[in-house]
């Protein structure tokens, strides 16, 4: 009777969570990184997708799931709803199957990762919570369900490169404990080991050359290592909670450290998993992503902590620390929720509406810098966009480094554009272009400010000479 009552409460709690987050999802405006996923899935062949993902630095799983929907003309809302459903499933698994107390569960579900970033921002990160929680449920039952456990680890590895070490370590432990150590070569364990191994190899094959020049957005770089380390740690602990206070930054860092120490005292193996898995994420950030550690990335590390805490008993002190750690981020979750409900997230949809209503259908648009205008391209699939860095028309962002200035910086090469109407879409204030073109431009439109950095747009008409 008690279990049935608990199930009913968890279902009702999940429905309430689903209803609240769905309102935000339906209001959320697609921004550049979300648009890129959909545009790649829509415009590339299967082979072309795998070839291009080397530039993106992401495994293919999320893109492959989206590809059938994108290619059959579905709305991008499908991608948003899919990510929302993944978060709903994760919330239910946590509420129903985790060993956490009611207060711990509430603090996790109300944290900004689950309240906003995972359900609302439609990217591959949204798949990670439900998969990690499935792995947490199966961790102590892996002998009973080895193939299922292996499939879950394989899927986690192929969501994002930052989860590679987590899957690899759990996979290696599985193979050692169930095959090598016991020397029991049962078919189910061998199949499971094969699934894990193939999934990890697949990630390596797809992304091995990414940090060594395949992408201008992701480069292995140690030239400013001290700055990268400082910047990464500040963003990692500061940005996820929405405050700039150095005092709060210190408090959060201390709580993070206490949780690590507690895991160490309870389980050396889980501590090793947490240190290496999260350490691998920090390595990726410091060497390749140090400029932008978005909150969703940070919460993927917190998911690893949840996985480890899921497996161990927690005393009263530990429960208080866990609740406090996650509740400190509640403010940011509500802050982003309110901002998203009453403001433009990217201003892309609003800008696209202006273009559709006011500018000729045969116009050519030149985004400067290119990456930020990808969301505008999503909302205008029938319009032409010219890439100055790649000197060609584009339907998605190309990050290849085989041309000068191909890092998406401002370039003015549009001599080959043959169109009666040419417009620049500027997303970052750029006096240089106004100075370069001087009397040949006219500002037609300026969007409202956006939540996403760099995605408030200005449309400038290029006035061509009659000669």
**Residue 99 neighbours by CB under 8 Å, 6+ apart:** 310
Condensed to tens digits (0 to 9), the pLDDT of residues 400-429 reads 665 444 444 445 566 778 878 889 898 866
Determine which of 115-119, 200-204, 357-361, 409-413 has the lowest per-residue pLDDT on average. 409-413
Least confident interval from 273-282, 414-423, 430-439: 430-439
Q: Which two tokens stand for residue 52?
A: 């291009």
Give one DSSP letter per residue of 301-335, joined into a string: HHHHHHHHHHTS---HHHHHHHHHHHHTTHHHHHH
Q: Dihedral angle at the C-alpha atoms of 246, 251, 254, 259, nearest 10 degrees?
A: -140
Given a contact cutoff of 8 angstroms between Cβ atoms, the answer to whether 463 and 403 are in contact is no
The reply to whether omega before 369 is within 30° of 0 (cis) is: yes
Statement: residue 434 has pLDDT above 50: yes
Each residue of 154-211: pLDDT tens digit? 999 999 999 999 999 999 999 998 888 777 678 899 999 999 999 999 999 988 877 6
Q: Classify residue 420 as exposed, middle or buried by CB count within 10 Å of its CB (0-12, 13-18, 19+).
A: exposed
Mean pLDDT confidence for 213-217: 66
SS3 418: coil
* Encoded tokens for 409: 């910086």
Q: Does the pLDDT at position 139 exceed 50?
A: yes
Binning pLDDT at 50, 70 and 90, where does residue 258 land? very high
Query: What was the pLDDT predicted at 97?
Result: 96
Query: Can you give the pLDDT at residue 239?
Result: 52
Least confident of 31-45, 151-165, 244-258: 244-258
Domain boundaries, given as residue ranges, for the chain: 348-462
Query: What proportion of the chain, given as a percentage, has pLDDT over 70?
Result: 88
pTM for the model = 0.92
């Amino acid at each position: 009777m008690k279990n049935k009552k608990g199930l009913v409460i968890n279902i009702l709690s999940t429905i309430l969570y689903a209803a609240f987050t769905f309102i935000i999802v339906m209001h959320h405006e697609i921004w550049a990184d979300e648009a890129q996923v959909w545009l790649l899935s829509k415009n590339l062949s299967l082979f072309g997708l795998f070839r291009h993902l080397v530039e993106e630095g992401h495994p293919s799983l999320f893109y492959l799931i989206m590809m059938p929907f994108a290619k059959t003309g579905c709305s991008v809302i499908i991608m948003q709803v899919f990510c929302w459903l993944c978060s709903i499933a994760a919330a239910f698994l946590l509420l129903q199957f985790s060993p956490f107390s009611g207060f711990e569960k509430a603090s996790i579900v109300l944290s900004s990762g689950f309240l906003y970033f995972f359900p609302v921002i439609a990217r591959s990160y949204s798949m990670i919570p439900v998969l990690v929680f499935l792995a947490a449920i199966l961790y102590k039952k892996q002998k009973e369900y080895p193939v299922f456990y292996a499939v879950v680890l394989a899927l986690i590895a192929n969501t994002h490169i930052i989860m590679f070490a987590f899957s690899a370590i759990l996979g290696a432990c599985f193979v050692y404990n169930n095959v090598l150590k016991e020397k029991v070569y049962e078919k189910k364990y061998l199949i499971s080991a094969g699934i894990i191994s193939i999934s990890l190899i697949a990630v390596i094959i797809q992304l091995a050359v990414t940090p060594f020049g395949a992408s201008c957005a992701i480069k292995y770089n140690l030239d400013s290592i001290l700055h990268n380390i400082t910047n990464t740690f500040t963003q990692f602990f500061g940005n996820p909670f929405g405050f700039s206070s150095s005092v709060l930054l210190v408090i959060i860092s201390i709580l993070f450290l206490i949780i690590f120490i507690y895991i160490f005292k309870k389980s050396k193996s889980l501590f090793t998993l947490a240190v290496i898995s999260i350490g691998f994420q920090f390595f990726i950030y410091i060497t390749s992503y140090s400029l932008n550690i978005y909150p969703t990335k940070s919460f993927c590390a917190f998911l690893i902590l949840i996985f480890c805490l899921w497996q161990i008993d927690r005393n009263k002190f530990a429960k208080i620390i866990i609740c406090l750690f996650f509740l400190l981020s509640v403010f940011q979750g509500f802050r982003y929720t309110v901002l998203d409900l009453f403001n433009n997230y990217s201003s892309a949809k609003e800008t696209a509406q202006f273009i559709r209503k006011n500018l000729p259908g045969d116009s050519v648009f030149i985004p400067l810098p290119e990456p930020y205008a990808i969301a505008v391209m999503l909302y205008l699939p029938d319009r032409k966009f010219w890439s100055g860095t790649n000197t060609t028309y584009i339907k998605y962002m190309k990050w290849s480094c085989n041309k000068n200035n191909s890092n998406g910086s401002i370039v003015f090469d549009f001599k080959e554009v043959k169109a009666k109407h040419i417009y620049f879409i500027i997303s970052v204030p750029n006096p240089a272009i106004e100075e370069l073109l001087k009397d040949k431009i006219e500002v037609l439109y300026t969007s409202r400010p956006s939540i996403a950095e760099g995605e408030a747009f200005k449309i400038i008409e290029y006035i061509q000479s009659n000669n």
